[in-house]
Amino acid sequence: MTLSERDKKHLWHPLTQHKLYPDHLPIVRAKGVYLYDDKENRYIDGIASWYTCMYGHCNDKIASKIKQQIDELDQVVFSGFTHKAAIELSEKLIGILPDNQQKIFFSDNGSTSVDVAIKMALQYHYNNGEKRSKLIALEDAFHGDTFGAMSVSGLSVYNGPFEDFLLTIDRIDVPNKNNFEEVCIKFESLIASGKIAAFIYEPLVQGAAAMKMYEPDFLNKLLKIAKKYHVLTIADEVMTGFGKTGRNFASDYMSIKPDIICLSKSLTAGVAPMAITSCTMEVYNSFYDSDLKKGFFHGHTYSANPLACSAAIAGIDLLRSEGIQQNIKLITNRHLEFKSVMDNHPKVKSTRVLGVIFALDLDIEMKRYGKLRDKLYNFYMKNGVFLRPLGNTIYILPPFVISDSELKKVYSVIKQSLEVV
Amino acid sequence: MTLSERDKKHLWHPLTQHKLYPDHLPIVRAKGVYLYDDKENRYIDGIASWYTCMYGHCNDKIASKIKQQIDELDQVVFSGFTHKAAIELSEKLIGILPDNQQKIFFSDNGSTSVDVAIKMALQYHYNNGEKRSKLIALEDAFHGDTFGAMSVSGLSVYNGPFEDFLLTIDRIDVPNKNNFEEVCIKFESLIASGKIAAFIYEPLVQGAAAMKMYEPDFLNKLLKIAKKYHVLTIADEVMTGFGKTGRNFASDYMSIKPDIICLSKSLTAGVAPMAITSCTMEVYNSFYDSDLKKGFFHGHTYSANPLACSAAIAGIDLLRSEGIQQNIKLITNRHLEFKSVMDNHPKVKSTRVLGVIFALDLDIEMKRYGKLRDKLYNFYMKNGVFLRPLGNTIYILPPFVISDSELKKVYSVIKQSLEVV
């Protein structure tokens, strides 16, 4: 039996209607920006395997760290015990996070980092003797798939079966120059109810909403309003974190800093699942008490897993290196050049760039999953590039280590693809 | 600065009131059953680092698999793609899971495996055109810390701040010979409402409720009632899975098999976070449809992470080996001998053993966190054994590779500890 046939027997893939999409291509190895299938075809990983492998696949520096760690300390209970990799990681993270972030709480994926952030925000007010029972989120947000994270995500046909089981959320539109005043008025009036514990948002780029971007100035104004009413602000930087927007974190673009930040994906450089929810001393201090019950009784068994911490340390070292910082600038510039070309294409409605994120919307209506979308996907794969169009949006989020010629190939395949739709 | 001082600066540990418990002992390496601190003191890991490192720390066979995998394939999107480690793991798992389990869905920790199971159960009925909006859980259950998992866990002072944000759950007492009939009547009458989507339970051992055990016959009867009314049954085997109860899974003790099983912890042999929710073809088939919307739109970025899959494959191979199977029997027998000794101790109220799990309740009232509990904990550590008493319960859940003399040491330290309380 081939790998593909064996796959069909027992595997239930995420986000997949198996009756419509029965086939899963076996990837047998990966190196740098390339994925290799079981027939030795290679594909440029144009989205860094969902924004994780930003320093390239099977990066030697990261691999050697992992090999060292697995012989030294695999796992240890993180209540009562600590270990070097977690300590070193916390120091390195605090070194690059916005200055007001001072404490690091571990979990295992983006969804749990959001559930943790929501719980922190609710208990923060609870511990301070205030009952605040609602959150504000942005329309079209995506924050994950656990019940807390689903609640603050936008409703769609895909989470419909769970609509009755979610937290109570107020939603505001993503601010733009046309609706900005209106959004601010609604935001402030929702907050004035006194019931709002926190405002959660993907700063500047809504990834799953097809790399929708919005302006720092607008977000900064919303953050200012939230601060005024002592509503906690939660930046979900699971997708945007670690250099992808051109700065270490998207939050670096605003003068007002969030109270809580969620991190995952490229945190571990594509090696193992791990997530972090960081926060200010003010948040932490509301839990710090002689009353045991005021503590934060949340914990996952593999919290601060040493292997994942080691990968994260190596990742941050790479991120801070001159080479990677230069690459980020180069990719951004190339994206801007490509943008100006695509802006004049008759089939292109709009384009946008932030850091290494490039996106274009086609002037064609398309379903998120559907024949046209599949045609594009297959065209890219046939031409050796892995990209996942989202509805009528084609986007690139390449590993930082992509070369100029590889990037040119991605652009050229996208240009050609516009002829087939 | 020492590691312990550096730890205090930025780390927020799980399940920890830092004001009462400021110090975290640095563990610098681990091998086999031993943890080593920064002063080269060693400790027998009497609870296998929360039931994960069952084949010993930094196991050479597992480490060599990881080293191979990290050079081959680190990470790949698991929607549209597949890979060898995930396929092989799915085959090995299906080989040891109860026969009715046929499909494997990945996530990253025990909590998410439960959120996934709850979502599967709710959407199963939804896809079949029935609206069932409630679940039944056992009193004193613990299923995790995300919002779904918290909902089906027992309420306590520790999740009090979130009480208003949880799913609607009906609860029944854990069945015993005194309340059994009553429990069955309540269970059946709850189910008769027609609103119950699923019954979730930790089979035979409630870990966080201090290794509380109950009889297979009682559970089997409840499962039979659930089946009769087409209520899905979800076995949370995150703690009990992979040989700890003396069989591969606790569900192997009952003739009625669950529809859905949650797995994590020792699934990856203590190397990296990963979880699995397995299910029957009947559950899977309710999602398998030409209607895209009937699919299961849940997904985590690191789903089926190749490193974690590799560790899990090596773990299952070890579990099935004659050596480990023999060790499980040996440890069980030693536990039973120790049980019969402790049964006559004046300070012991009760004892219990299932597989490699040993627990005794002291005849003393103690708080889950408190001075007496801390006194015991410190006594064990001072004597070179890592155990975490839960209230007045002292329990052992050692790695399968513990030797006879190491086991004797654990027993002897426990016996001595009864003199200090």
In the beta sheet, which residues pair with residue A390? A393
For residues A1-5, average pLDDT: 96
| CATH code of the domain containing A27 | 3.90.1150.10
Q: Which residues of A touch B30 (CB under 8 A)?
A: 72-76
Are A186 and A207 members of one domain? yes
Q: Give pLDDT tens digits for B267-326.
A: 999 999 999 999 999 999 999 999 999 999 999 999 999 999 999 999 999 999 999 999
pLDDT band of residue B369 (cuts 50, 70, 90) is: confident
In tens, the pLDDT along B86-142 reads: 999 999 999 999 999 999 999 999 999 999 999 999 999 999 999 899 999 999 999
Q: Which residue of A has its CA nearest to B289?
A: A19
Question: In the prediction, which pLDDT does A394 show?
Answer: 98
Inform me whether the pLDDT recorded for A368 exceeds 80.
no
Mean pLDDT of chain A: 97
Q: Please report the pLDDT score of residue B367 as a whole number.
A: 79
Residues A121 and A240 in one domain: yes
Looking at the partner chain, which of A49, A70, A295 has a beta carbon nearest the beta carbon of B77? A49
pLDDT reading at A12 higher than 90: yes
**Closest residue on chain A to B10 (Cα):** A103
Which of B10, B27, B145 is opposite residue A298, by nearest beta carbon?
Answer: B145
CA A65, distance to chain mean position in Å, is: 24
**Interface test mutation site (partner A, options B1, B2, B10, max chain A beta carbons within 10 A):** B10
For residue range A186-218, list pLDDT tens digits in order: 999 999 999 999 999 999 999 999 999 999 999
If you average pLDDT over residues A365-391, what whole number do you get? Answer: 92
One domain for residues A108 and A33: no
| Residue among A11, A80, A297 whose CB faces B104 most closely | A11
Nearest CA in chain A to B302: A273
Cα–Cα nearest to B165, from A171, A250, A148: A148
Q: For residues A398-404, give the mean pLDDT.
A: 98
Chain A positions in Cβ-Cβ contact with residue B313 (cut-off 8 Å): none
Structural domain count, chain B: 2
B109/A107 CB distance under 8 A: yes
Instruction: Identify the pLDDT of residue A38.
Output: 97
Is a pLDDT exceeding 90 seen at residue A117?
yes
Min Cα–Cα distance to chain B from A418, Å: 22
Q: Do A57 and B75 touch (CB under 8 A)?
A: yes
| Domain coverage including residue B180 | 63-319
Pair (A174, A231) in one structural domain: yes
R_g (Cα) of chain A, nearest Å: 22
Q: What pLDDT is recorded for position B86? A: 98
Which chain A residues contact residue B80 at CB under 8 A? 13, 16, 21, 24-25, 377, 388
Residues A251 and A390 both lie in one domain: no
Confidence band for A155, pLDDT divided at 50, 70 and 90? confident
**Domain's final residue, options A278, A298, A319:** A319
Closest approach of B211 to chain A, Cα-based (Å): 17
User: Range with the lowest mean pLDDT among B175-179, B297-301, B367-371, B384-388?
Assistant: B367-371
pLDDT score for A269: 98
Kindly tell me the sign of the dihedral angle through the C-alpha atoms of A263, B165, A159, B223.
positive
pLDDT for res B408: 98
Please state the rounded mean pLDDT for residues B233-256. 98
pLDDT tier, A360 (very low <50, low <70, confident <90, very high otherwise): very high
Model pLDDT, residue A369: 76
Contacts of B58 in chain A (CB under 8 A): 70-74
Q: Is the pLDDT of residue A52 over 80?
A: yes
Residues of B in contact with A48 (CB under 8 A): none
ipTM: 0.98
pLDDT exceeds 90 at position A157: no
d(CA A208, CA A143): 9
Model confidence at B156: pLDDT above 90: no
Chain-centroid distance of CA A291 in Å reads 35
- At B262, which CATH number? 3.40.640.10
Confidence band for A327, pLDDT divided at 50, 70 and 90: very high
Task: Spell out the residues 6+ positions from residue B189 whose beta carbon is closer than 8 angstroms to its own.
Answer: none
Residue A401: what pLDDT? 98
Query: Does A93 share its domain with A199?
Result: yes
| Nearest-Cα residue of chain A relative to residue B7 | A87
How many Å lie between the alpha carbon of B413 and the closest alpha carbon of chain A? 20
What is the pLDDT, as a whole number, of residue B158? 74
Share of chain B above pLDDT 90, in %: 95
Shared-domain flag, residues A286 and A165: yes
Domain closes at, from A273, A296, A319: A319
CB within 8 Å: B145 and A299 = yes
Together in a domain, A411 and A273: no
Same domain (yes/no): A25, A167: no
Distance CA B44, CA B60 (A): 19
Contacts of A291 in chain B (CB under 8 A): 17
Across residues B62-74, what is the average pLDDT? 98
Q: Are B174 and B138 in contact (CB under 8 A)?
A: yes
Q: Which of A284, A319, A354 is the last residue of a domain?
A: A319
- Which chain A residues contact residue B71 at CB under 8 A? 58, 63
Within this chain, do residues A202 and A263 fall inside the same structural domain, yes or no? Answer: yes
Q: How confident is the model at residue B155 (pLDDT cuts 50, 70, 90)?
A: confident
Please judge whether A298 and B122 are an interchain contact, meaning their C-beta atoms are less than 8 angstroms apart.
Answer: no
- Chain A CB contacts of B73 under 8 Å are 27-30, 57-58
Q: Do A265 and A345 sit in the same domain of this protein?
A: no
Report the pLDDT value the prediction gives residue B365, as an integer from 0 to 100.
Answer: 81
**Are both A227 and A125 inside the same structural domain?**
yes
Per-residue pLDDT of B304-321, as tens digits, reads 999 999 999 999 999 999
